């Protein structure tokens, strides 16, 4: 985290957390008559939301501040909304991916599954999934409530439109990702990178930076620069995510290593591996990818093959290309040299991160 301290810094995080705390306390009061679930959900949300790096919300505030603007209540609202939408998407994503652990802790739907087991509910697993879907939906609604309270009516309308468009983009990209996971079809590396751009790049980086730049009332050409920068950073982020899923340390990542193999995720790694491998190697790979009972020996085979066939080297070249492209854009932004330095540190962190 030290390389992104000026972006994900205590001041930004504290401002977001304080707003969130006030918002959730008020939400708890407003829905006190609806029964125990409103209280239980609200109590569990703050630690779940703030347990991550909060890169997206902090990026909004950093970019806004980088263009010479003093952090305002509305800027914090925009940052909080980003974090709320991110949390809702995470909860739904964990359900679709059947991920029981996030950041070393049970995911939201897994928590409800455990609660169902304690209360001896029939089919506690489906109960957990259903409750998790409800929580994700509630958070989306809460995010739009926060946006609706922005004081500048013209800006609010524009932001609402931008948020809605980008969230729909994530939804459609997620559908493509789900389809890719179920179909036997293979996809070209370029097709998968395009998916990464739309699912991760625009939402995780383009949207927060565009929001900060837009709210700082910068010119359209500047907004376009950060939009493209965000797409490239997002693809880089996802490539490193894929790398960590194969070669990472489970203790550091907080997620099971090899889950992409078990779920037959159509990653760029997999795409290149299948293209380069021999027919006999592909035959063995087909018995491993998508096998929920994949063993540690199987995972070692996949990783060794990635290295011996040069797949890891190819991915490294792609990673370096996105880093170089991003550096060029950062140096052309209309912000101070100090802020450019901070953004370059973020870029370095994205490449070198271990979780």
Co-location of 117 and 225 in the same domain: no
Looking at residue 1, its pLDDT comes to 45
pTM of this structure: 0.89
- In angstroms, the CA 25 to CA 90 distance is 22
Q: Are 160 and 112 found together in one domain?
A: no
The distance from CA 246 to its chain's CA centroid, rounded to whole angstroms, is 18
Residues 106 and 157 in one domain: no
Residue in this structure with the two tokens 């609200």, named with its chain if needed: 42
CATH number, domain with residue 268: 1.10.600.10
Do 244 and 355 meet the contact criterion of CB atoms below 8 Å apart? yes
Domain edge (last residue) among 136, 151, 166: 151
pLDDT tens digits for 281-325? 999 999 999 898 999 999 999 999 999 999 999 999 999 999 999
Taking phi over 0 as left and psi of -120 to 50 as alpha, with beta for the rest, 286 belongs to alpha
CA 273 to chain centre: 25
| Residue 188 shares a structural domain with residue 287 | yes
User: Which letter, b or e, does each residue of 58-91 get, where b requires 16 or more Cβ atoms within 10 Å of its Cβ?
Assistant: bbbbbbbbbbebebeebbbbbbbbbbbbbbbbbb
- Angle at alpha carbon of residue 257, lines to 252 and 258, rounded to 5°: 160
Q: What is the pLDDT averaged over residues 65-86?
A: 95
Average model confidence (pLDDT) across the chain: 91
Q: What residue spans of 31-66 are helical by DSSP H?
A: 36-50, 55-66
Domain identity same for 222 and 347:
yes
Structure-token pair, residue 258:
């090899």
Residues 135 and 173 in one domain: no
Domain that holds residue 82: 1-151
Q: Do 165 and 120 share a structural domain?
A: no
Predicted confidence (pLDDT) per residue in 225-262, tens digit? 999 999 999 999 999 999 999 998 877 766 778 888 98
Which residues, in sequence order, are CB contacts of 233 under 8 Å at separation 6+?
201, 204, 205, 322, 326, 346, 347, 350
> Residue 150: CA atoms inside 13 Å, Cβ hemisphere, count?
22
Give the CA distances from residue 123 to residues 114, 116, 130, 199, 309, in Å, rounded to whole numbers and listed in that order.
Answer: 11, 8, 11, 32, 45
Region of 294 (left: φ > 0; alpha: ψ -120 to 50; beta: rest) is beta
Structural domain total, the chain: 2
Predicted confidence at residue 3, as pLDDT, reads: 52
Specify whether 170 is located in the same domain as 126. no
Give the pLDDT of residue 15: 95
pLDDT at 220: 94
Write down which residue in 113, 130, 151 finishes a domain. Answer: 151
pLDDT of residue 57: 95
152 contact partners, CB below 8 Å, separation of at least 6: 74
Query: Mean per-residue pLDDT for 134-152?
Result: 94
178 and 311 in a common domain: yes
168-188 pLDDT per residue, tens? 999 999 999 889 888 888 899
Claim to verify: residue 71 and residue 140 sit in the same structural domain: yes
Q: Give me the mean pLDDT over the 11-16 stretch.
A: 93
Question: According to the model, what pLDDT value does residue 215 have?
Answer: 94
Q: What is the mean pLDDT of residues 133-137?
A: 94
Q: Which of 6-10, 82-86, 286-290, 302-306 has the weakest average pLDDT?
A: 6-10
Listed in sequence order, the residues at least 6 apart from 56 whose beta carbon sits closer than 8 Å to its beta carbon are 79, 82, 83, 86, 204, 207, 208
Burial class (CB in 10 A: 0-12, 13-18, 19+), 193: buried
- End residue of a domain, out of 96, 122, 151: 151
Confidence of residue 330 (pLDDT cuts 50, 70, 90): very high
Asked if residue 178 and residue 107 are part of one domain, the reply reads: no
* One domain for residues 91 and 201: no
For the cut 60, the answer to whether the pLDDT of residue 2 exceeds it is no
In the chain, % of residues over pLDDT 90: 67
| CA 3/CA 343 separation, integer angstroms | 10
């Amino acid at each position: 985290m030290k390389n992104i301290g000026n972006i994900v810094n205590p001041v930004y995080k504290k401002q977001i957390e304080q707003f969130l705390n006030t918002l959730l306390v008020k939400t708890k009061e407003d829905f006190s008559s609806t029964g125990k679930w409103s209280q239980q959900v609200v109590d569990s949300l703050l630690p779940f939301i703030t347990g991550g790096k909060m890169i997206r919300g902090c990026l909004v505030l950093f970019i806004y501040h980088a263009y010479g603007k003093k952090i305002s209540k509305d800027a914090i609202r925009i940052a909080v909304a980003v974090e709320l939408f991110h949390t809702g998407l995470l909860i739904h994503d964990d359900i679709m991916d059947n991920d029981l652990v996030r950041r070393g802790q049970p995911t939201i739907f897994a928590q409800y599954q455990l609660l169902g087991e304690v209360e001896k509910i029939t089919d506690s697993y489906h109960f957990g999934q259903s409750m998790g879907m409800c929580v994700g939906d509630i958070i989306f609604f809460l995010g739009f409530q926060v946006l609706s309270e922005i004081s500048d009516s013209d800006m609010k309308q524009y932001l609402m439109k931008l948020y809605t468009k980008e969230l729909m983009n994530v939804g459609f990209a997620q559908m493509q990702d789900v389809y890719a996971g179920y179909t036997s079809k293979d996809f070209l590396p370029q097709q998968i990178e395009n998916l990464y751009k739309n699912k991760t790049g625009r939402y995780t980086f383009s949207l927060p930076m565009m929001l900060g730049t837009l709210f700082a009332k910068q010119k359209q050409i500047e907004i376009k620069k950060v939009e493209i920068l965000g797409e490239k950073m997002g693809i880089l982020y996802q490539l490193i995510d894929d790398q960590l899923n194969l070669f990472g340390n489970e203790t550091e990542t907080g997620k099971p290593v090899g889950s992409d193999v078990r779920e037959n995720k159509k990653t760029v790694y997999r795409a290149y591996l299948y293209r380069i491998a021999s027919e006999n190697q592909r035959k063995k790979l087909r018995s491993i990818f998508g096998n929920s009972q994949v063993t540690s020996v199987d995972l070692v085979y996949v990783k060794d093959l990635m290295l011996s066939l040069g797949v890891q080297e190819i991915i490294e070249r792609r990673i370096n290309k996105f880093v170089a492209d991003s550096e060029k854009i950062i140096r052309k932004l209309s912000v101070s040299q100090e802020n450019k330095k901070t953004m370059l540190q973020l870029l370095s962190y994205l490449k070198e991160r271990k979780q």
